[in-house]
Structure 1
Amino acid sequence: MTVGDYARAVLRSWLVVVVLAVLGATGGFVLAKLTPETYSSTGALLVTSDRGESTSELVQGSAYVQDLVATYVLLARSELVLQPVIDELELDTTPRALASTITASSPLNSVVIEVSATSRSPRLAQEITSAVMASLAVVVTNDVAPLDANGNPTVRLTVIENANEPRFAVSPSTRNYVLIGGLIGLALGIAFSVLRAFAWQTVRDRGDVQRLTTVPVLGEVVETRRGTTLPAAILNNPLGIEAESVRAVAANLNFLKVDGGLRSIVVTSAASGEAKSSLVIALGLMIAESSKRVLLVDADLRSPSLAEYTQLDGGLGLTNVLIGESSLAEAAQDWGTDGLSVLTSGASAPNPSQLLTSQRMTDLLAEARKEFDFVLIDCAPLLAVTDATWLGNQTDGAVLAVLYNKTTMRGLEKVLHAAEVGGLSLLGSVLTRVPRRGVSRYGVGSYGTQPAQDPTGLTQRLRRRGRAR
Structure 2
Amino acid sequence: MTVGDYLRAIGRSWLVVVILAALGAAGGFGYAKLTPDTYRSTGSLLVTSDRGESTSELVQGSAYVQNLVATYVLLARSELVLQPVIDELDLDTTPRALASTISASSPLNSVVIEVSATSASPRLAAKITEAVMDSLATVVSRDVAPQADGQPTVRLTVIQGADEPRFPFAPSTRNFVLLGGVIGLALGVAFSVLRAFAWQTVRSRADVGRLTSIPVLGEVVETRRGVQLPAVVLRDRLGIEAESVRAVAANLNFLKVDGGMKSLVVTSAASGEAKSSLVIALGIMIAESSRSVLLIDADLRSPSLAEYTQLDGGVGLTNVLIGETTLAEAAQDWGADGLRVLTSGADAPNPSQLLTSQRMTDLLEEARGEFDFIIVDCAPLLAVTDATWLGNQTDGALLAVLYDKTRAHNLEKVVNTAAVGGLNLLGAVLTRVPRRGVSRYGVGNYGARATTQADGLRSKIRLRGRSRDNR
TM-score tier (shorter): 0.7 to 0.9
Distance 1:360 1:86, change over 3 A: closer
- 1:402-417 equivalence runs, <5 A: 402-417=401-416
More displaced stretch, 286-295 vs 247-256: 247-256
Q: Which amino acid aligns with 1:48?
A: T
Q: Provide the secondary structure at the position in 2 that maps to 1:383.
A: coil
Q: Which amino acid aligns with 2:135?
A: S
8 A contact 2:240–2:439 mirrored in 1: no
Q: Distance in 1 between matches of 2:343 and 2:86?
A: 93
Question: Between the two proteins, what is the percent identity of the paired residues?
Answer: 81
Q: Deviations over 1:6-43 (max 9, x none)?
A: 22221111111112212222332333344343333333
Q: Distance in 2 between matches of 1:160 and 1:261?
A: 102
- 1:268-417 equivalence runs, <5 A: 268-323=267-322, 326-417=325-416
1:460 match: none
Q: Distance in 2 between matches of 1:229 and 1:120?
A: 64
Taking only aligned residues, the RMSD between alpha carbons, in angstroms, comes to: 3.2
Q: Provide the secondary structure at the position in 2 that maps to 1:427.
A: strand
Instruction: Compute the displacement of 1:307 (Å).
Output: 3.4
Distance 1:284 1:130, change over 3 A: same
1:220 match: 219
**1:178 is aligned to 2:195:** no
Q: Provide the secondary structure at the position in 2 that maps to 1:211.
A: helix
Distance 1:313 1:152, change over 3 A: closer
Distance 1:325 1:41, change over 3 A: closer
Q: Which amino acid aligns with 2:192?
A: S
2:261 match: 262
1:462 match: none
Q: Provide the secondary structure at the position in 2 that maps to 1:381.
A: coil
Distance 1:245 1:101, change over 3 A: same
More displaced stretch, 101-110 vs 263-272: 101-110
Instruction: Compute the displacement of 1:86 (Å).
Output: 4.2
- Where relative contact order (Cα < 8 A, 6+ residues apart) is larger, the structure is 1
1:4 match: 4
What is the number of equivalent residue pairs in this alignment? 449
- 1:32-431 equivalence runs, <5 A: 32-50=32-50, 64-89=64-89, 93-108=93-108, 110-148=110-148, 150-164=149-163, 166=165, 168-323=167-322, 326-431=325-430
Unaligned runs of 5+ in 1: 451-469
Q: Distance in 1 between matches of 2:320 and 2:92?
A: 95
Instruction: Compute the displacement of 1:389 (Å).
Output: 1.3
Unaligned runs of 5+ in 2: 460-471
Distance 1:172 1:314, change over 3 A: closer
Q: Provide the secondary structure at the position in 2 that maps to 1:282.
A: helix
Q: Which amino acid aligns with 1:85?
A: V
Q: Deviations over 1:314-358 (max 9, x none)?
A: 454434544555554444332221111223334444443344334
Q: Distance in 2 between matches of 1:106 and 1:342?
A: 91
Give the TM-score, by structure 1 length.
Answer: 0.83
Q: Deviations over 1:50-104 (max 9, x none)?
A: 4566777666655654453333222212333234434555656554443222101
Q: Which amino acid aligns with 2:189?
A: I
More displaced stretch, 162-171 vs 422-431: 162-171
Q: Distance in 1 between matches of 2:271 and 2:236?
A: 28
More displaced stretch, 401-410 vs 354-363: 354-363
Q: Distance in 2 between matches of 1:333 and 1:32?
A: 69
Q: Deviations over 1:385-432 (max 9, x none)?
A: 112112222322211112234322232222122112222222222222
Q: Distance in 1 between matches of 2:406 and 2:288?
A: 30
Q: Which amino acid aligns with 1:218?
A: L
Q: Provide the secondary structure at the position in 2 that maps to 1:214.
A: coil
Q: Distance in 2 between matches of 1:128 and 1:224?
A: 72
Q: Which amino acid aligns with 2:128?
A: I
Q: Which amino acid aligns with 2:114?
A: E
Give the TM-score, by structure 2 length.
Answer: 0.83
More displaced stretch, 359-368 vs 334-343: 359-368
1:453 match: none
Q: Provide the secondary structure at the position in 2 that maps to 1:244.
A: helix
